[in-house]
Structure 1
Amino acid sequence: MPAIKIHDIGRLNRERLGDPYLSSEDERFETIRTIIAETPSLMAILTSIRDLELPDSWLVSGGIYQTVWNALTDRPASHGIKDYDIIYFDGSDLSFEAEDIVIRQVEAKLPSLAGQLETRNQARVHLWYEKRFGQPYAPLSCSMEALTNYAAKTHAVAARLRHDGKLDIHAPFGLSNIFAMRIVPNYTLDNSKTHAEKGKRMQANWQELNVMSWQRP
């Protein structure tokens, strides 16, 4: 299959890409790499966090899957994107002060996007999560472990840029829901409120979305 260019994405059948029986996961991974590689804002973020050499650092969640939705629906690349989530894992210093230094370093690297960047050390999430969301959060052992706790399986996607220019993509629940434009609950934590709030906001920007209700099987 020839390389897919972002201007060709609209002609691809998102129902096919979103169906694990009609298309392969390899095809979805290659498509998402192409979309990221041809989106300057995402590549600027990925290049910056790579060059800063933040430990176990990734661009995750909405900045990726919402860019895919925009490519699939022929919208501008930044349409509806509220922020870009950057995560890293540094257990050597769990203070807010240390995290704040990293936040400022990232923003200094990306001044045009500084107001949209959310940079968080995943090694210290358990220190503030319960106070903010009302439930305990177990300490994590690495950045990618955080993806399994996101409110929707659809949110769980991450990318990083290697020094050789290749893109690593991580998606613990697969990519079919992203390409199907379907938000599927993740029951690891009781994130029903977050799931509903995000689903409502996203449907206002992408009317094609199917937001599945929070109902445990």
Structure 2
Amino acid sequence: MIIKEKIIEIIEADEWMMGILHTAKRLNLPDWWIAAGFVRSKVWDALHGITERTSIPDIDVIYFDNKKLDKSQEKKYESLLFSFMPEVPWSVKNEARMHQRNGLPPYQSSVDAISKFPETATAVGVKVDERGKVVLAAPHGIEDLVQLKVRPTPFFIESDERMEIYQARVQQKNWKETWGNLSIKL
């Protein structure tokens, strides 16, 4: 069974991932994390014995700053990250404003926002702390992630509308084609 420390070890052994984490850390964003597919795909690749990195559409850098809510600030951070690592598909979002886009009450932090991602296996984030060590946030635990289970977070289960979003997302992502051992709850 993979434990949290093993996930951190896998990430710390990946030079590309560590380069991305240290680059994002350079922005010194408040309550920042790299979330979602960045972690999920690495773990699923490892559990499937996939040695060549599965491509991900973007690197989701999230942060929480309720004093600077202008979307243009996010674009400035993206541009800065592109100037450091132009080959990386950066996406930067301030979770202090993302609740508006999603029609929800305000998030309290980045980890609160992560807890409201659609799938438990995707509701994970990593960052490096001031000592350069990887820190993992998994508000719903890592069990589903490491047991290759795709299911909705409690937040998505609460609403028929959100469950429809979850179901459409899972079908659109077609993860089982890449990671055949997944168990997907529709």
Q: One fold, TM greater than 0.5? A: yes
> Separation in 1 of the partners of 2:146 and 2:22?
25
Amino acid at match of 1:211: I
Aligned-pair CA distance for 1:77: 4.7
Give the drift of 1:194: 3.4
- Contact kept? 1:103, 1:120, Cα under 8 Å: no
Percent of residue pairs bearing the same amino acid type: 24
Taking structure 1 as the reference length, the TM-score comes to: 0.77
Aligned length: 180
**1:45-80 per-position Cα deviation (integer Å, ceiling 9, x unaligned):** 210111221111101111101111111112135214
- Scaled by the length of structure 2, the TM-score of the pair is 0.89
Alpha-carbon spacing, 1:84–1:107, altered in 2? closer, same or farther (3 Å): same
Change in 2 beyond 3 A, CA 1:80/1:204: farther
Map of 1:78 onto structure 2: 53
Question: Hey, what does 1:169 align to over in structure 2?
Answer: 136
Gaps of 5+ in 1: 1-16, 18-26, 130-135
The answer for the alignment partner of 1:37 in structure 2 is 12
Q: Structure 1, residues 137-181: CA drift from partner, whole Å, max 9, x if none? A: 111121111011111111111111012121111111111111111
Structure 1 outlier segments of 4+, above 4 Å: none
Does residue 46 of the first structure (1) align with residue 21 of the second (2)? yes
Match of 2:116 among 132, 142, 149: 149
Q: 2:76 & 2:95 partners in 1: Cα distance?
A: 15
Aligned match for 1:197, one of 143, 168, 181: 168
Query: Secondary structure of the equivalent of 2:61?
Result: strand
Paired position in structure 2 for 1:111? 86
Gaps (5+ residues) in structure 2? none
Question: What CA distance in whole angstroms lies between the structure 2 residues aligned with 1:29 and 1:151?
Answer: 21
RMSD of aligned Cα (Å): 1.6
SS of alignment partner, residue 112 of structure 2:
helix
* Structure possessing the higher radius of gyration over alpha carbons: 1
User: Distance in 1 between the 2:133 and 2:83 partners?
Assistant: 24
- 2:95 pairs with 1:122: yes
CA distance in 2, matches of 1:101, 1:144: 23
Residues 49 and 177 from structure 1, CA distance in 2 versus in 1: closer, same or farther, beyond 3 angstroms? same
